[in-house]
Amino acid sequence: MIVPFAAGGPTDVIGRLMADHMGRTLGQNVIVEDVTGAAGSIGVGRVAHAPNDGYTLSIGHWSTHVVNGAIYALPYDLLRDFEPIALLPSNPMFIVSSNSVPAKNLKELVAWVKANANVTIGTAGVGSGSHISAVYFQNFTGTHFQIVPYRGTDPALLDLMAGRIDVMFDQVSEAMQRLRDGTIRAYAVTAKTRSPVAPDVPTVDEAGLTGLYINIWYGLWAPAGTPLGIIAKLNRAATAAMADPAVQKRFTDLGLEMPPAAQQTPEALGKLQRAEVEKWWPIIKAAGIKAE
């Protein structure tokens, strides 16, 4: 299972939980390999060109399997070159900062970014969920960050805690632990409702950035042409993992939302991906976000 972002980040954590349980169902180890760079497009490309025998899979999410197609001249086609297996859990982002940032709420944060030309924001690369969210924030608020790309949000988060960068959009499932231990500060969650694991963090609407919703949904794909019998077997292993109460608890404790059982099919993932491409590509292109 190729994880297209750095070890320790949200994609890696979800991938490892899934791989571990799927391996037990399938009766053989599912090995996770982190293949990082270019907002996940290098790792995803590895899977697009892998043999379609069911032995190489791609975990990815909204930005790797939707957004990247609008930003990069990819050497693969996100819709044609993959066989969807299953929709996995989803989570929104937190807007977080280093504890050294003086702002105590989102309005103060916006004012602070406006007043300081060198505020840095860490991202997982151009086109990653964290990067698109940062650009959105800039467009919404008329602010400007110095954008610092990493190979995943985990190395960015380490620099945030150390105060080497100021701000990040980080998925709830990754930021939660740091929020609990007080090593970072959260200003808002990019969802219509507060996260059950962080009821004190206001929604973007409550905090003053109405409508800045970003939901990172995860999925599992195989290379196009993988026999449908193999896709069905992999889907059964993925859904068995998501049906296990112990796995569900791990996911929900991290602030992830489980997809309803009816949405855990290959067809539902394919449909969602196509709908998201239609919705987001025009928005991303209009926002002028390009690979550097």
Candidates 1, 2, 7, 9: give the one binding ligand MLT (CB under 6 A).
Answer: 9
Candidates 1, 10, 78, 219: give the one binding ligand MLT (CB under 6 A).
Answer: 10
Calpha distance 57→59 (Å, rounded): 7
Question: Closest approach of Cβ 111 to ligand MLT, in Å?
Answer: 25
Is residue 60 part of the contact set for ligand MLT (CB under 6 A)?
Answer: no
Question: Closest approach of Cβ 220 to ligand MLT, in Å?
Answer: 14
Is residue 15 part of the contact set for ligand MLT (CB under 6 A)?
Answer: no
57 in Cβ contact with 222 (< 8 Å): yes
95 in Cβ contact with 137 (< 8 Å): yes
Helix (H) or strand (E) holding 216: strand 215-223
| Six-digit token string for 97 | 């900062």
How do beta strands 167-171 and 120-123 pair? parallel
What is the signed CA dihedral for 171, 176, 181, 183, rounded to 10 degrees? 10
Is residue 218 part of the contact set for ligand MLT (CB under 6 A)?
Answer: no
Is residue 58 part of the contact set for ligand MLT (CB under 6 A)?
Answer: no
- Pick the stretch among 3-11, 201-209, 224-232, 265-273 that binds ligand MLT (CB under 6 A): 3-11
- The count of chain residues that interact with ligand MLT, using the rule CB under 6 A, is 14
Candidates 152, 219, 255, 259: give the one binding ligand MLT (CB under 6 A).
Answer: 152
Helix (H) or strand (E) holding 19: helix 10-26
Is residue 82 part of the contact set for ligand MLT (CB under 6 A)?
Answer: no
1 Cβ neighbours under 8 A, 6+ residues apart: 15, 18, 19, 30, 31, 32, 33, 57, 58, 59, 220
Q: Which is nearer to ligand MLT, 87 or 231 (CB)?
A: 87
- Pick the stretch among 9-17, 80-88, 231-239, 275-283 that binds ligand MLT (CB under 6 A): 9-17
Is residue 91 part of the contact set for ligand MLT (CB under 6 A)?
Answer: no
Q: Where are the beta strands (DSSP E) in 99-136?
A: 120-123
163: left (phi over 0), alpha (psi -120 to 50) or beta: left
CA angle centred on 200, ends 198 and 203, rounded to 5°: 85
Is residue 173 part of the contact set for ligand MLT (CB under 6 A)?
Answer: no
Residues 121-150, mask of contacts with ligand MLT (x by CB under 6 A): ---x---xxx--------------------
Residues 102-121, mask of contacts with ligand MLT (x by CB under 6 A): --------------------
Q: Which is nearer to ligand MLT, 168 or 231 (CB)?
A: 168
User: Sign (positive/negative) of CA torsion 55, 82, 9, 119?
Assistant: positive
Candidates 141, 153, 203, 226: give the one binding ligand MLT (CB under 6 A).
Answer: 153
Residues of this chain that interact with ligand MLT (CB under 6 A) are 5-6, 9-12, 63, 124, 128-130, 152-154
